[in-house]
Each structure stands twice: as C-alpha cells, then as structure tokens.
C-alpha cells in the first residue's frame, strides 16, 4: 500500500494520469446508472391543509381548564397520534394501501408514516401534508388526516375530563377516609392520655390559670358549704338539746326580777355559736366573701331573735309565777314551734349536705381537669411528639380535603367548558388541495449531484487503486523503496505514420544474408529507440551506456546479465535496445546473447526467422559444435557493431546445460573479441536459469515494469542477485515522465535531421 501522507498537487495529478481509466470508467458508469435511476424515479405529489390552533372560548383566568396543554404540547400530541401504529393501520385499511399479508401491511404503515409531513409555521398554525405518487390519493388522505386531528382533539379533551373527574373523585374519597382516620386516631389518643378533656379544648397557660381559679372558687364554695352544714348540724343539735330541756320539768326557781329562762339561754347559746363561727370565717376570708356575709347574716338573725325575746319578756305585764304551772302554756307553745323549726333545720341540713356533695364532685372534676391540663401543658417528650404528629397529620388531611373539595367544584365547571362543542381548538383554515406539480424528484438537481458524486467516486477509485497498488509507478517511489540507481524507460508508442514508414523501409531493403541481420526488420519500437535521438527511452538508455562506460573503467565490467522479477516486464525488449545503443558507439563491439533457452524472444524481437535452423548456444553446450562453429553462428548487424548469438534449439529444461562448465568457458573465450556482452536471461524468481548464469557475469541490470511489478518482488530479486552485483534498475513502461516536457522541445529540432539521415542510409543499402 502506498503512503499518501506527503502527497502534493503534482503527485495527485500524476496519480490521476496513471489511473485515468479508473476515473473515466467509474465516472461514466456511475453517472449513467444514476441518470437511469433518476429518470425512472416516479413523480411525487404533495397535498397540504392548514389547521389553526385556537384558544378556548373562555380564558384561563376566568374558568380554569382540565387540559392545560400549551399549543406546542397540542401539536406534539397531534404528531404522536398521527404517528401511532393503530391510527396508521386504520388509514391503510381505509384506503386499501396494502394487500393481504402482515409483511406488506407493515411496509404500508411505514410508508404512510414516512409520507406524513407536519410543519409548524407560527405559534398557532399547523400545516399538515401527505405525499404520494397519486395526486387524488394525496388529497384524500390529507383530508382524512385533518378530520382525524379534530376528532382526536375532541376525544382527547373528553378523555382528559373524564380521567380528571375520576381522579378527583378518587382523591377526594381517599382524603375523606384519611381525615376520618386521623381524627379517630387523635380522639383515641386524647381518650387514652387526656381522658375527660375535649380534643378541641383551649390548652394554654391562661386557660390553666382560669381552671385553677375555678378550682380555688370551687374549694372555697365547698368549705362554705361544709361550714354551713356544720353550723346547721350544730344548730340542729342545739335545737334538739333545747327541745329536751324544755320538755323536762324543772324546779321552780326563786322569784327574781332578772332571771334567765331556758329559751333565752338557748338563744344566747346559738348567738354565741354564730358569732364564733363568724369570727372564724372572717379571720380566714375577707369581709366581702360570701361565707363571711352569710355567717354575719345568720349571726345577726340569731342576735335579733335573742333581743326580740328579751324585749318581749321585759314588756310582759303578767308576773311570772314560781312553779311549774306558770310555765306550761309557754312551753307547750314553744314545743310546737320547735318541731316546725327542727323540720326546717333538717331540711336545710339536707340541702347543705347535697350542696357539699355537689361541690365536692365539682372540686374533684375541676382537679382532674387541672391534672389533664397540666399533662397537656407539660407532657412527656414521647407523648408530646406523638400528639404533635397526630395533630399535624389531622390538620394536613383536613386542608387536603378542603382543597380537593374546592378543586372538585372547579373541575365540574371546567369540564362543562372543555367538553363544549364550541370550545374547538383545532380548525381547518385551508382545505387540502389537489396537487398538479410534483414536489420531487428534482431531476436536474439530482443529475448534477449524481454527476458530482460519480466524479468523486471515480477519483476515489483512482486513488484507491493507487493506494492498494503494490507496484512502483515512478522514479521517486523506486528510489525510496530500492535505494539503487534508477532509469525511467518511458512507454514507447508509435504513431500510424511511423509504422507505415517502417513498413515501407522494410520493403525497400533487401533481406539480410545468412550471416547478417538488419534492424529495419526488428521491432519498430526497438528501431525507434536505437535510431531516434529525440526518443526519451533512447536517451535514458544512452544515460545507462554512459554509466556502464564509467563502471567499465572503474570495475572492468564487461558481461552484463539482464533479468527481471516476473515474466512480461520487457527485459528482452530493453536488452535488444541497450545492446543496439551500445553498438552505435564507434569502435565498440557488442555481443547480444539470447540466454533465455526456453522462449528465444530475442530472435523474434530482432526480426530473425525462428526457422532459419542456425546453431546457437544450446548446440555448443551439448557439444554438437565447437567454438569455431559457434563463431560462425554469430550474426552481425549490417548498420552497427552489434552482434547476436542465438539460443539455438528451444529447450524445456535448460538448467542442466547452463550449469555445465562449458558456459563459463564460452564466455571466457568470447570476452576478448567484444567490448560488451549482453545476456538476456529468464526471470530470476521463477526459474533457475538466471541464477545459474548470474555468477558468470560481471554485473546485473534488473528490469521492472512500472505499475505492474510489486515492490516486494523487486526487493526479493535484488536480495537474490546481491546489492553489490546490481548496478541499476530499469523501470520500464513509465507513463508521464516529468522530464519529457523539458526534454522533447530540446530535441524536437533533431528529429527531422535524424529521419533524413536514416533515409540516406536506407538509400545506400538499396
């Protein structure tokens, strides 16, 4: 493979010149194939319709919407729905775009999907198109697509409304269940930890102080009731004692003006008790306290009754008599009144007892409430955390339930607007047209692009062929790869005029005798290279003659073997040309030996008759002739110092003859008679012939065909010959030699003179 890293423009031009056939053929074939394909492409028509994405009949800030999709979102929804397989399958079945079979159905669906074109021209304008080779079909499908857009929008809105309504109902039901569950958990928690205290009670420091004040008042009321009950009990006991005293007969007291009877004594005793009770209560409470006021009132009543009794007794005119008889009427009346008073006192005692019981229960209840409030105000961290969690959960579920209830009401109103027929958001503003001009293919543009692509393909093929070509194409590559002196031998081509001129010359010249030959009968290209001084190939070989002359002086080089790596590289052709150019040098005798005993190509190249039956190298090596007979077999060129030794009879396996010592003796005997001995041999890599002849020669010229012989084979050949024994490489059939453009004008003036001299020489022969 070639290295393209250091390519310049001139290198690219040379590559294109060498590979012009790949470029031209590839470009032409690709262009013709693309042109045929473009010409046979069907015409595609496109039908379009314009759809306006309108706003709602009521704005969002007036009544919200359950389908709050933007216009871009609606258009994306249209794209998704129109590209869905279910919808496309309906289109295919409706318009019968596919035959029976799942494979064709899938292909038809894919084709319809690829033919649908959706374009957005503004924020609210949608253009929907469909392409087909049938204009009527394109318009029909476009209309169907527009109808589908509107239907899909309506069904989508209704579906969204139903889904939203169901979702809200489900969420509202769940929120209601969550709220009930949270309230139940909170009630159970209060019942467990704050029994008797309402969950809604205001638990704060102020409330706690109020409840404590209520407890203090309840306790005060309880004490007052207890004092009252104690007083009533004491009063009842005194009354009972008084009644007992009054019912018991007493001795007649001595007459005294200031005597105290039993009634007065009882009243005095009760008054003293009430006063003592008043003093005890007043020392404990303030004067405005209800118990103090009540005790003062009761004490005042008893004192007033005592005073009344004493005043009544002072004002009684009847002299109190001594004895039992005088007191009986009073005692009887007093006894009757005391019974009623006792009943009244007992009734008051019962009321006081009930009041004490009620106030005791109130104190107990308020005490429990105080304890509960204290537990609420300073609960344990675990209870406080659990209570806070339950309360926050209950509040959150309550707010969620309230929010969903409001959203449900709004959703019902929004659903009525969204499902209204008048709330249509997709409207067709431009009906689908019937296309008359195809939208594609643009055959002129495609043809231009195809031509350009074909040219690029041809360039690619040319450079690819150059890249994969293992052979050596020019002098730079040969010098880089081989590291040896290189001579470029351009490809020699003859015009028709030159070929006619050579044929006429052969007709004018008489056939050579048995011991001579004439180059006029040789290959026309060989004759042109040898005789034409303006020939580029001839000039290169003349440069090789100069180099060989220098080597002959330096290293005494005389016998030169010409070989190649593989057959068909032109070694015989160049051997004849080089020998002919060497023979043109004055005073130099050159012997060309046909060492290829298998093909004998030299004889045909020089124009000799292969059936002439002359003896040659084969007969000498076999011992059929001696050296003197061999010298007679050497043919001489009539117009130069070129001599030719034929191979003799053709052999299939000449290796045995070439390995005999006679070949070395023959070359040694011929060397004094000639200045140069050129041996044309077989390819060195394929046959053993050249390898056997190689040690007998002074130097070797390796012939390689430009663009044909792989560099690897050339290197292998040089390695087999030996770098020291290889004096150069003749790169044959080189095209587009760079020096030709400079060389040809310089020698153009000598071409005509050379032809004239060759004409005079031919006339002399005639």
> For residue range 152-199, what is the model confidence (pLDDT) as tens digits?
777 766 766 777 777 878 888 888 898 888 888 878 877 776 665 555
Question: Which residues belong to CATH 3.40.50.300 in the chain?
Answer: 483-586+598-611+672-765
How confident is the model over 495-524, as a mean pLDDT? 68
Any idea what DSSP says for residue 41? S
Q: In which order are the strands placed within the sheet that holds 45-53? A: 116-122, 125-132, 45-53, 426-430
Percent of the chain having pLDDT more than 70?
A: 77
Type and span of the H or E element at 37:
helix 20-40
Q: 636 - beta bridge partners?
A: 516, 643
At 560 the pLDDT is 95
Q: Which CATH superfamily is domain 483-586+598-611+672-765 in?
A: P-loop containing nucleotide triphosphate hydrolases (3.40.50.300)
Higher pLDDT, 501 or 347: 347
DSSP string, 611-626: TS----HHHHHHTSS-
Report pLDDT for 247. 62
What pLDDT was estimated at residue 59?
Answer: 54
Q: Which is more confidently placed, 58 or 400?
A: 400
Q: The tokens of 766 are what?
A: 């005639």
pLDDT, average across residues 587-602: 90
Q: How far apart are CA 44 and CA 21, in angstroms?
A: 38
Give tens-digit pLDDT for 336-383. 456 677 777 778 788 888 888 888 888 888 888 777 776 666 666 777
**Burial class for 523, CB neighbours closer than 10 Å (0-12, 13-18, 19+):** buried
365 vs 345: CA distance, rounded Å:
30
- pLDDT of res. 326: 40
User: What does the pLDDT read at residue 575?
Assistant: 94
Q: What per-residue confidence (pLDDT) applies to 259? A: 47
Band of residue 201 on the pLDDT scale cut at 50, 70, 90: low
Give the CA count within 13 Å in the CB-facing half-sphere of 761: 15
Least confident of 28-42, 339-353, 525-539: 339-353
Give the burial string for 269-287 (b: 16+ CB within 10 Å, else e): ebbebbbebbeebbeebee
**Confidence bin at 104 (pLDDT 50/70/90):** confident
Confidence of residue 696 (pLDDT cuts 50, 70, 90): very high
CB 116, CB 82: distance < 8 Å = yes
> Highest mean pLDDT range out of 210-219, 241-250, 304-313, 635-644?
635-644
Residue 752 bridge partners (DSSP): none
| pLDDT digits 0-9 by tens, 109-144 | 888 888 888 888 777 788 889 998 899 998 999 898
Decide: pTM greater than 0.85.
Answer: no
Judged on CB neighbours under 10 Å (0-12, 13-18, 19+), 153 is: buried
């Amino acid at each position: 493979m070639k290295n393209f890293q250091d390519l310049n423009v001139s290198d690219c031009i040379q590559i294109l010149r060498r590979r012009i056939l790949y470029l031209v053929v590839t470009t032409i074939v690709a262009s013709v194939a693309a042109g045929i394909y473009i010409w046979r492409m069907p015409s595609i028509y496109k039908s379009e319709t314009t759809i306006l994405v309108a706003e709602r009949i009521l704005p969002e800030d007036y009544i919200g919407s359950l389908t709050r999709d933007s216009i871009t979102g609606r258009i994306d929804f249209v794209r998704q729905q129109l590209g869905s397989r279910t919808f496309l399958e309906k289109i295919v079945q409706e318009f019968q775009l596919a035959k029976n079979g799942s494979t064709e159905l899938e292909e038809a669906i894919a084709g319809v999907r690829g033919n649908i074109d959706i374009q957005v021209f503004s924020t609210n304008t949608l253009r929907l198109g469909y392409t087909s080779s049938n204009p009527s079909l394109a318009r029909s499908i476009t209309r169907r697509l527009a109808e589908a857009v509107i239907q899909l929008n309506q069904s989508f809105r209704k579906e969204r409304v139903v889904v939203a309504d169901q979702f809200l109902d489900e969420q509202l039901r769940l929120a209601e269940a969550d709220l009930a569950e949270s309230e139940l958990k909170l009630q159970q928690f209060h019942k467990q930890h704050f029994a008797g205290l309402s969950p809604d009670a205001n638990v704060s420091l102020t409330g706690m102080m109020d409840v404590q004040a209520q407890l203090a008042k309840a306790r005060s009321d309880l004490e007052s009731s207890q004092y009252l009950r104690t007083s009533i009990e004491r009063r009842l006991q005194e009354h009972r004692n008084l009644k007992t005293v009054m019912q018991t007969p007493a001795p007649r007291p001595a007459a005294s003006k200031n005597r105290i009877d039993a009634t007065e004594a009882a009243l005095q005793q009760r008054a003293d008790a009430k006063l003592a009770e008043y003093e005890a209560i007043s020392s404990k409470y303030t004067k405005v306290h209800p118990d103090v006021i009540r005790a003062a009132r009761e004490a005042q009543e008893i004192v007033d009754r005592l005073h009344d009794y004493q005043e009544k007794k002072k004002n009684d005119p009847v002299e109190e008599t001594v004895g039992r008889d005088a007191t009986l009427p009073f005692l009887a009346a007093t006894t009757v009144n005391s019974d009623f008073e006792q009943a009244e006192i007992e009734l008051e005692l019962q009321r006081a007892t009930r009041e004490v019981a009620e106030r005791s229960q109130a104190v107990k209840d308020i005490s429990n409430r105080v304890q509960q409030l204290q537990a609420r105000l300073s609960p344990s961290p675990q209870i406080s955390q659990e209570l806070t969690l339950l309360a926050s959960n209950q509040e959150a579920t309550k707010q969620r339930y309230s929010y969903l209830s409001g959203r449900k009401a709004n959703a019902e109103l929004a659903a009525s607007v969204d499902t209204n027929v008048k709330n249509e958001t997709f409207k067709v503003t431009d009906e689908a047209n019937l296309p008359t001009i195809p939208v594609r293919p643009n055959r002129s543009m495609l043809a231009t692009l195809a031509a350009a692509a074909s040219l690029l393909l041809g360039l690619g093929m040319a450079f690819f062929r150059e890249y994969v070509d293992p052979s050596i194409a020019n002098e730079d590559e040969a010098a880089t790869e081989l590291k040896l002196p290189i001579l470029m031998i351009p490809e020699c081509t003859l015009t028709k005029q030159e070929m006619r001129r050579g044929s006429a010359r052969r007709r004018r010249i008489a056939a050579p005798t048995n011991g001579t030959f004439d180059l006029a009968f040789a290959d026309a290209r060989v004759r042109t290279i040898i005789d034409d001084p303006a020939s580029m190939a001839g000039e290169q070989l003349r440069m090789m003659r100069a180099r060989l002359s220098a080597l002959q002086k330096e290293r005494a080089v005389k016998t030169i073997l010409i070989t190649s790596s593989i057959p068909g590289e032109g070694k015989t052709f160049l051997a004849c040309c080089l020998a002919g150019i060497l023979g043109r040098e004055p005073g130099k005798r050159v012997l060309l030996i046909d060492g290829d005993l298998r093909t004998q190509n030299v004889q045909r190249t020089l124009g000799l008759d292969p059936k002439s039956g002359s003896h040659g190298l084969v007969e000498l090596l076999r011992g059929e002739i001696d050296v003197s007979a061999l010298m007679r077999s050497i043919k001489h060129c009539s117009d130069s110092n070129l001599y030719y030794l034929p191979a003799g009879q053709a052999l299939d396996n000449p290796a045995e003859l070439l390995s005999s010592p006679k070949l070395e003796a023959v070359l040694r005997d011929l060397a004094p008679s000639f200045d140069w001995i050129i041996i044309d041999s077989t390819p060195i890599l394929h046959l053993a012939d050249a390898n056997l002849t190689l040690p007998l020669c002074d130097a070797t010229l390796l012939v390689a065909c430009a663009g044909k012989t792989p560099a690897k084979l050339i290197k292998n050949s040089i390695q087999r010959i030996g770098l020291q024994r290889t004096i150069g490489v003749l790169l044959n059939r080189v095209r587009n030699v760079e020096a030709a453009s400079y060389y040809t004008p310089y020698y153009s003036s000598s071409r005509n003179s050379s032809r004239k001299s060759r004409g005079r020489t031919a006339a002399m022969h005639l």
